């Protein structure tokens, strides 16, 4: 196969980061791109000379930016503008000390459930800590420590939760994509094996009347007659 | 599993004690007696790939000629060439050991391909009890495997991607190494995959 | 005992699989995303094709084949004398015996075949992975000149297989407009930053980009577009900071 074995069944964290960078986020741009259309202007070509055209996303947001008015763009655009000092990123609501504290409280009070954090909380927080540390109201080290706490509590809960694995069903609600990704190879491997064991015991489905098919059991390749098996 | 799967092939080479139900001349080489005959009720250890088919095939319906059918024997009797007896892997002793302490059991020394062998055995005999015991064993051991896979430390050195044993990491890494020695081949594979995925994520968090 | 040699072959195949897995994992984890360029030619990814063991197994298979021919011969003789036999029961037991002997023979043959096929399949999988990793190939500039280690460990047929596989991939790459814009042999890591800081490791000289000409002297640092220097990173001439 052209894809290495490790990547055949799960994503790498870098790929997940790439996916998360496609999400929308609010920013304060520091420059204006919106232009007032002057109906009486003769120079129509000028109107369109500064417009950007994007291939992979709608360009209305980019072309209508007004300085210091919040607008929503994709994350990777926001990061690029931030790097060039052309905008300020607005931290999402769940990424404040208060909200995180509430989430930690929830985790500690409900030992059988996970708090409803957004699906990309871990990845997004790491990206923002690295690229836009000055855009947060609260100091970064406090936010980081809370994120770490959350991660550890959830990991312990997950370890408890996988005790209830059986060959057909396991349900853990509200896990983020990174957490699911790290569990995926382990859980799918174990559940596949449990399924194999279960199917081997139950046997292939035999349609029709059971008695009529007794004579055909020889050809199924199994020895259902216990008397043929003797113990030492 | 699959035809080309190496683990499947190696699991098939496990030896099973068998008892022959007929006299077969010419197969003496199976018991190191070339040219001799194997007599009824001889017990031999044969590999699973050989024993399985000989235990399934019906020896009595050998004749194609309907006219030669035994008119005195109207019952359809199913007699294979040999009977497979319980191998050492599934004796009561082992099953009791599994029930008492599934976690610290040294599965590798019982049989390095325990799970593959168990699945084949269960399929042959539709043994629901054994299936339950093995499922439970797997579930309990998987918790421990997950715990071990999660706790391996990584080095922060950019040049090496493997775990380095420095100073006080020595004992934990030794524990992990000793633990993996007691795992069966399938468990080792799962351990490695889980460990890799946890390691990748930790690396991404710290290097990002 | 028939099948023992085949077992040895499979054990060796398993060891090979584990060795290569380690090597390929290390390649994937490196920064240039799956392309090894520090290959010094002394490492062997794939062990020698085990000619001797295969030859012995094939001899065993031949022996088994002779056994089947012998059994066939015996059966024909029995068929001819069967009509003269009055003892039906002994005819039955003879049939049983023949059947058992036949099955044992057949099973040994099939076992040997399966082991041989699995060994070959394992090796061809490794060859595929090596080709995709860009390690082996003369028209591949990522390779350090003529150091095509691993090539000599293959049997003649495997070498042919490898060059035909490579040709197939090259054909697919250059065939249509659709494929030529996707870098199939490129980096496994998704692109992250548009502009990155790099440090030059070796003297390359002048590189021309859209943003101007850069003089890449050893140990100098530049802030350039990632897609421009992607190739150079893979070849190991520059390093991302």
Report the range out of A63-67, A228-232, B15-19, C198-202 with the highest average pLDDT.
B15-19
Cβ partners under 8 Å of residue A219, min gap 6: none
Strand partners, C238: C200
pLDDT in tens, C116-157: 999 999 999 888 888 877 654 333 434 443 345 567 778 889
Question: Residue C108, exposed/middle/buried by CB under 10 A (0-12, 13-18, 19+)?
Answer: buried
Output A177 or C181, whichever has higher pLDDT: A177
Question: Residue C223, exposed/middle/buried by CB under 10 A (0-12, 13-18, 19+)?
Answer: exposed
Distance from CA of B136 to the nearest CA of C (A): 29
* Alpha helix stretches (DSSP H) within C30-139: 51-82, 88-132
- For residue A221, is pLDDT > 60? no
What pLDDT was estimated at residue A42? 56
Q: Please give the Cα distance from B4 to C60 (Å, whole number).
A: 21
Q: How many beta-carbon pairs below 8 A join chains A and C?
A: 31
What pLDDT was estimated at residue A226? 40
Overall average pLDDT of the A37-58 stretch:
63
What pLDDT was estimated at residue A63? 77
**C124, C188, C191, C224, best to mutate vs chain A, most A CBs in 10 Å:** C188
Q: How many beta-carbon pairs below 8 A join chains B and C?
A: 83
Confirm if A78 and A27 have CB atoms less than 8 A apart.
Answer: yes
HSE, CB side, 13 Å, CA atoms: give it for residue A151: 20
- For residue C114, is pLDDT > 90? yes
**Dihedral of alpha carbons A8, A11, A13, A18, sign:** positive
When pLDDT is cut at 50, 70 and 90, the band that residue A68 belongs to is confident
Nearest to C125 by CA among A4, B55, A61: A4
Neighbours of B174 (CB within 10 A): 11
What pLDDT was estimated at residue C86? 55
pLDDT in tens, C94-106: 777 888 888 888 9
Give C-chain residues touching A15 at CB under 8 angstroms: 190
Residue of chain A whose alpha carbon sits nearest to that of B145:
A186
Considering only CB atoms, which residues of chain C are within 8 Å of chain B? 1, 3, 7, 10-11, 13-14, 17, 25-26, 29-30, 88, 91-93, 95-97, 99-101, 103-104, 107-108, 111, 114-115, 117-118, 121-122
State whether residue A40 sits within 8 Å of chain C by CB: no
What pLDDT was estimated at residue C101? 85
What pLDDT was estimated at residue B137? 92
* B4 with C121: Cβ contact below 8 A: yes
pLDDT in tens, C9-25: 999 999 988 888 887 77
Strand partners, A88: A28
ipTM tops the 0.90 cut:
no
* B190 with A17: Cβ contact below 8 A: no
pLDDT in tens, C28-54: 766 555 555 554 444 556 788 888 888
Out of A13-17, B107-111, C123-127, C221-225, pick the least confident.
C221-225
What pLDDT was estimated at residue B44? 86
Q: Please give the Cα distance from C46 to C159 (Å, whole number).
A: 13
Cβ partners under 8 Å of residue B133, min gap 6: B95, B98, B99
Q: Please give the Cα distance from A4 to C21 (Å, whole number).
A: 10
What pLDDT was estimated at residue C134? 65
When pLDDT is cut at 50, 70 and 90, the band that residue A46 belongs to is low
* A189 with B149: Cβ contact below 8 A: no
State whether residue A232 sits within 8 Å of chain C by CB: no
Output B166 or A104, whichever has higher pLDDT: A104
Confirm if C35 and C234 have CB atoms less than 8 A apart.
Answer: yes
DSSP per residue, C155-212 = -HHHHHHHHHHHHHHHHHHHHSHHHHTS-TTS-SSPP--SEEEEEE-S--EEEEETTE
Distance from CA of A202 to the nearest CA of C (A): 27
- The angle formed by the CA atoms of residues C15, C16 and C18, to the nearest 5 degrees, is 65
Distance from CA of C148 to the nearest CA of B (A): 25
From the CA atom positions of chain A, what is the Rg in Å? Answer: 28
Q: Which bin fits B65, alpha (ψ -120 to 50), beta or left (φ > 0)?
A: beta
Inter-CA distances, A151 with B152, B157, B201, Å: 17, 24, 12
Contact map slice: C 94-153 vs A, CB within 8 A: 128-129, 132
Question: Residue C146, exposed/middle/buried by CB under 10 A (0-12, 13-18, 19+)?
Answer: exposed
Give A-chain residues touching B194 at CB under 8 angstroms: 185-186, 189
- For residue A36, is pLDDT > 50? yes
Q: Please give the Cα distance from C58 to C113 (Å, whole number).
A: 9
* B150 with A159: Cβ contact below 8 A: yes
* B6 with C13: Cβ contact below 8 A: yes
pLDDT in tens, C48-87: 888 888 888 899 889 888 888 888 888 888 877 766 655 5
Distance from CA of B128 to the nearest CA of A (A): 5
Chains that touch C (3 or more CB pairs under 8 A): A, B
Residue of chain B whose alpha carbon sits nearest to that of A5:
B193
State whether residue A39 sits within 8 Å of chain C by CB: no
Confirm if C127 and C162 have CB atoms less than 8 A apart.
Answer: yes
What pLDDT was estimated at residue B76? 55
Local confidence pLDDT in tens for the 208 residues of chain B: 788 999 999 999 999 998 888 888 877 777 777 777 888 888 888 899 998 888 888 776 544 444 444 444 445 567 888 888 888 889 999 999 999 988 888 889 999 999 999 999 998 888 888 999 999 999 999 999 998 888 865 444 343 344 444 444 567 778 888 888 889 999 999 999 999 899 989 988 888 7
Q: Please give the Cα distance from C66 to C63 (Å, whole number).
A: 5
* A201 with B127: Cβ contact below 8 A: yes
What pLDDT was estimated at residue A230? 38
What pLDDT was estimated at residue A54? 78
How far is the first Cα of chain C from the last one, in angstroms, to the nearest whole number?
61
Give B-chain residues touching A190 at CB under 8 angstroms: 138-139, 142, 190
Q: Please give the Cα distance from B18 to B80 (Å, whole number).
A: 12
Distance from CA of A2 to the nearest CA of C (A): 6
Distance from CA of A81 to the nearest CA of C (A): 11
Give B-chain residues touching C88 at CB under 8 angstroms: 68, 70
What pLDDT was estimated at residue C90? 61
Neighbours of C144 (CB within 10 A): 15
Q: Please give the Cα distance from B39 to C46 (Å, whole number).
A: 47
* C25 with A6: Cβ contact below 8 A: yes
Overall average pLDDT of the A33-44 stretch:
62
What pLDDT was estimated at residue B169? 58
Q: Please give the Cα distance from C46 to C127 (Å, whole number).
A: 9
pTM (whole model) above 0.90? no
Residue of chain A whose alpha carbon sits nearest to that of B199:
A182
Cβ partners under 8 Å of residue A49, min gap 6: none
Strand partners, B38: B24
Chains that touch A (3 or more CB pairs under 8 A): B, C
DSSP B127: -
């Amino acid at each position: 196969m052209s894809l290495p074995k490790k990547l055949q069944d799960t994503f790498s964290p870098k790929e997940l980061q790439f996916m998360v960078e496609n999400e929308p986020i609010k920013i304060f741009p520091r420059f204006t791109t919106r232009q007032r259309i002057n109906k009486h202007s003769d120079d129509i070509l000028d109107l369109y000379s500064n417009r950007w055209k994007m291939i992979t996303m709608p360009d209305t947001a980019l072309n209508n930016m007004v300085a210091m008015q919040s607008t929503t763009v994709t994350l990777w655009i926001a990061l690029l503008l931030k790097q060039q000092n052309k905008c300020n990123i607005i931290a999402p609501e769940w990424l404040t000390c208060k909200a995180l504290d509430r989430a930690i409280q929830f985790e500690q009070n409900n030992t059988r459930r996970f708090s409803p954090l957004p699906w990309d909380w871990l990845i997004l927080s790491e990206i923002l800590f690295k690229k836009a540390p000055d855009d947060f109201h609260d100091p970064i080290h406090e936010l980081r420590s809370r994120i770490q706490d959350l991660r550890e509590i959830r990991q312990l809960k997950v370890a408890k939760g996988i005790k209830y694995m059986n060959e057909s069903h396991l349900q853990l609600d509200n896990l983020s994509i990174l957490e699911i990704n790290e569990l995926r190879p382990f859980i799918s491997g174990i559940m596949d094996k449990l399924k194999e064991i279960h199917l081997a015991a139950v046997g292939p489905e035999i349609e029709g009347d059971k008695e009529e098919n007794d004579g055909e059991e020889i050809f199924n390749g199994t020895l259902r007659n216990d008397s043929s098996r003797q113990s030492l | 599993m699959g035809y080309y799967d190496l683990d499947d092939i190696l699991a098939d080479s496990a030896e099973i004690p068998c008892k022959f139900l007929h006299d077969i001349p010419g197969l003496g080489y199976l018991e190191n007696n070339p040219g001799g005959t194997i007599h009824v009720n001889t017990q031999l250890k044969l590999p699973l790939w050989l024993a399985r088919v000989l235990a399934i095939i019906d020896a009595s319906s050998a004749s194609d000629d309907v006219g030669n059918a035994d008119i005195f024997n109207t019952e359809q009797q199913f007699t294979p060439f040999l009977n497979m007896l319980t191998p050492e892997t599934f004796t009561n002793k082992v099953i009791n050991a599994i029930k008492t302490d599934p976690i610290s059991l040294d599965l590798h020394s019982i049989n390095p391909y325990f799970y593959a062998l168990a699945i084949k055995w269960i399929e042959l005999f539709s043994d629901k009890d054994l299936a339950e015991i093995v499922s439970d064993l797997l579930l309990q051991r998987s918790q421990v495997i997950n715990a071990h896979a999660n706790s391996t430390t990584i080095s922060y050195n950019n040049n090496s991607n493997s775990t380095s044993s420095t100073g006080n990491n020595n004992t934990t890494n030794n524990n992990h190494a000793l633990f993996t020695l007691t795992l069966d081949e399938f468990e080792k594979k799962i351990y490695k995959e889980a460990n890799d995925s946890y390691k990748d994520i930790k690396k991404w968090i710290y290097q990002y | 005992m028939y099948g023992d040699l085949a077992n040895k072959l499979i054990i060796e195949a398993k060891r090979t699989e584990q060795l290569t897995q380690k090597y390929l994992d290390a390649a994937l984890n490196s920064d240039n995303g799956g392309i090894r360029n520090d290959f010094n030619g002394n490492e062997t990814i794939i062990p020698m094709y085990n000619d001797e063991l295969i030859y012995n197994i094939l001899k065993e298979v031949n022996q088994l084949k002779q056994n089947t021919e012998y059994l066939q011969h015996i059966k024909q003789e029995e068929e001819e004398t069967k009509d003269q036999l009055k003892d039906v029961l002994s005819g039955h037991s003879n049939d049983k015996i023949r059947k058992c002997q036949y099955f044992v023979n057949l099973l040994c043959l099939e076992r040997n075949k399966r082991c041989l096929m699995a060994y070959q399949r394992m090796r061809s999988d490794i060859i595929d992975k090596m080709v995709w990793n860009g390690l082996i190939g003369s028209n591949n500039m990522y390779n350090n000149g003529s150091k095509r280690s691993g090539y000599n460990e293959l049997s003649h047929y495997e070498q042919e297989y490898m060059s035909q596989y490579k040709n197939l991939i090259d054909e697919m790459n250059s065939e249509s407009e659709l494929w030529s814009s996707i870098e199939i042999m490129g980096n496994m890591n998704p692109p992250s930053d548009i502009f990155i800081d790099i440090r030059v490791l070796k003297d390359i000289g002048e590189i021309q980009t859209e943003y101007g000409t850069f003089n890449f002297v050893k140990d100098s640092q530049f802030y350039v577009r990632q897609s421009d220097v992607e190739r150079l990173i893979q070849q190991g001439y520059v390093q991302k900071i």
